[in-house]
């Protein structure tokens, strides 16, 4: 674990908390810089989901470098066999070995799945010198250096630097029927999922009235296959900025349904077929036929284990201390990915800031004489 400067020789050079695109990208860069990173990947508690939000995503069509095609063969060849159980099932048409050997016939429309993309990133980190612990971090002690990270099950670990990459989770309405139809017509990301065949040429609904909801509705309404997009707004006005509101209100394919909330997601067992809406004025209900519901009612960053030890912005996201650097308010603690980003929230931007955090750690260690 190298020599030290004013700390324990046994302290880790860098502990990475989180295992989404930011965590694995940080690990790849830190490992290749010989920092031997230790990644806490989380368990299945709500805050620390192994592989992050992408574990809940099906096709990922916007991550550069992953066009659809014979992705499955590549994933299976690259990811260690003992983790194949975690990969999504092979699509029906690819099960026939005859199809799987023909370049034209092998799942021509099969985009990389969220879990596959994350397993590939994890494997890339493991290929160098990354160590992974299946545990949650429940607290950190930043009162003296080296810092301590405190896992739920294991012993506290000393660390010269920490990268917080715990992400943010989309808020949902909390309906049982919403849970049942997640990935079957219910989504919290139009940019990620809106162009999927499931939603082609169907009326769709966006729930929420903030800038995100307008952005999602506009994105969906501008797709070539768009038919109609309903915005379900619980009050008689929107929270979104004026200019965004006008964008929605003037769009020929967007219709706002005011003073309404979703009471139930309706479906045929396989896919969403509609919504039962409830008026917030008189409690009356009505049904709306849609093929998908996009929930855009805000996100919650996964920061509860931090208490108030790092400076957060007014929305509860970790605040970067310097523009375009991943340093937080505490020296030697860095933040990457959605936990520090309430604006872009994309896998590719998370991966980018994960890389930045590892480079910032490398420089910090060099400046502090830790080899």
Residue ranges binding ligand NDP (CB under 6 A): 173, 207-213, 215, 234-235, 239, 261, 296-298, 342
Catalytic site includes residue 3: no
CB of 251 to ligand NDP, least distance (A): 15
Cα angle for residues 165, 129, 152 (degrees, 5° grid): 45
* Two tokens, residue 193: 């999922």
Q: How far is the CB of 342 from ligand NDP (least distance, A)?
A: 5
Count Cβ atoms below 10 Å from residue 52 Cβ, excluding itself. 31
Q: Describe the crossing of helices 21-32 and 347-367 by its angle, rounded to 10 degrees.
A: 40
Phi, psi of 80 (to 5 degrees): -55, 140
Is the distance from CB of 354 to CB of 348 less than 8 angstroms? no
Q: State which residue, 51 or 277, has the beta carbon closest to ligand NDP.
A: 277
Report how far apart the first and last C-alpha atoms of the chain are (Å, whole number).
9
- Tokens 């695109």, residue located: 21
Rank residues 263 and 360 by Cβ distance to ligand NDP and give the closer one. Answer: 263
Q: Where in the chain does DSSP place strands (E)?
A: 12-17, 38-40, 131-133, 137-141, 147-151, 157-164, 168-170, 186-187, 204-207, 229-232, 254-257, 260-267, 272-279, 285-289, 293-295, 299-301, 333-335
CB of 14 to ligand NDP, least distance (A): 30
Annotated catalytic residue, options 136, 189, 338, 341? 189
**To the nearest whole angstrom, how small is the minimum distance from the Cβ of residue 170 to ligand NDP?**
9
Nearer to ligand NDP, 154 or 298 (CB): 298
Residue number, 209 or 339, with CB nearest to ligand NDP: 209
Q: Which is nearer to ligand NDP, 182 or 234 (CB)?
A: 234
Sign of CA dihedral 130, 65, 317, 311: positive
Marked catalytic residue, from 82, 105, 192, 236: 192
Is 192 annotated as catalytic?
yes
Q: Which of 193, 263, 341, 360 is catalytic?
A: 193
Identify whether the C-beta of residue 326 lies closer than 8 Å to the C-beta of residue 334: yes
C-beta separation of 21 from 351 below 8 A: yes
Find the shortest distance in angstroms from Cβ 171 to ligand NDP: 7
Check the CA dihedral 176-182-186-192 and report its sign.
positive
Please report how the helices 71-78 and 114-126 are oriented relative to each other, as an axis angle in degrees rounded to 10. Answer: 30
Q: Which is nearer to ligand NDP, 129 or 211 (CB)?
A: 211
Alpha helices in 204-273 (DSSP H): 211-221, 242-249
Query: At closest approach, how far in Å is the CB of 218 from ligand NDP?
Result: 10
Residue at shortest CB range from ligand NDP: 210
Structure tokens at 158: 């000393």
CB of 19 to ligand NDP, least distance (A): 24
Instruction: Pick the closer one to ligand NDP by CB: 85 or 343.
Output: 343
For residues 280 and 260, is the Cβ–Cβ distance under 8 A? yes
Nearer to ligand NDP, 261 or 348 (CB): 261
DSSP string, 314-331: TTSPBPPSSTTS-B-SST
DSSP 238: -
Q: Least distance from C-beta 172 to ligand NDP, angstroms?
A: 9
| Catalytic residue ranges | 189, 192-193
């Amino acid at each position: 674990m190298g020599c030290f400067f004013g700390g324990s020789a046994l302290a880790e050079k860098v502990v990475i908390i989180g295992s989404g695109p930011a965590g694995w990208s940080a690990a790849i860069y830190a490992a290749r810089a010989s920092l031997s990173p230790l990644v806490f990947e989380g368990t299945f508690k709500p805050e620390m989901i192994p592989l992050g939000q992408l574990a809940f995503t099906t096709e990922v069509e916007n991550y550069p470098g992953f066009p659809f095609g014979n992705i499955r063969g590549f994933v299976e060849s690259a990811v260690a066999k003992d983790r194949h159980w975690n990969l999504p099932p092979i699509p029906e048409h690819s099960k026939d070995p005859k199809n799987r050997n023909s370049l034209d016939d092998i799942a021509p429309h099969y985009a990389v799945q969220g879990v596959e993309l994350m397993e590939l990133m994890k494997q890339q980190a493991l290929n160098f010198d990354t160590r992974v612990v299946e545990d949650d971090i429940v607290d950190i002690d930043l009162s003296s250096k080296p810092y301590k990270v405190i896992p739920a099950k294991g012993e506290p670990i000393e660390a010269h630097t920490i990268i917080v990459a715990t992400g943010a989770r989309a808020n949902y309405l909390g309906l049982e029927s919403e849970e049942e139809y997640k990935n079957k017509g219910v989504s919290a990301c139009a940019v990620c999922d809106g162009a999927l065949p499931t939603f082609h040429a169907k009326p769709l609904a966006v729930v929420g009235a903030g800038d995100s909801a307008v952005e999602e509705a506009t994105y969906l309404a501008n797709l070539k296959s768009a038919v109609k997009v309903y915005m379900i707004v619980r009050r008689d006005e929107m929270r979104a900025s004026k200019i965004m509101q006008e964008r929605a209100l003037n769009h020929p394919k967007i219709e706002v349904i005011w003073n309404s909330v979703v009471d139930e997601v309706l479906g045929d067992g396989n896919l969403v077929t509609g919504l039962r809406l409830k008026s917030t004025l008189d409690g009356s209900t009505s049904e709306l036929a849609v093929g998908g519901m996009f929930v855009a009612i805000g996100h919650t960053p996964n920061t509860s284990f931090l208490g108030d030890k790092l400076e957060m912005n007014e929305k509860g996201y970790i605040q970067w201390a310097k523009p375009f650097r991943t340093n937080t308010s505490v020296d030697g603690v860095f933040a990457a990915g959605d936990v520090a980003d309430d604006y872009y929230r994309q896998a590719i931007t998370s991966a980018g800031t994960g890389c930045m955090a590892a480079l910032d750690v490398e420089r910090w260690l060099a400046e502090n004489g830790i080899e």
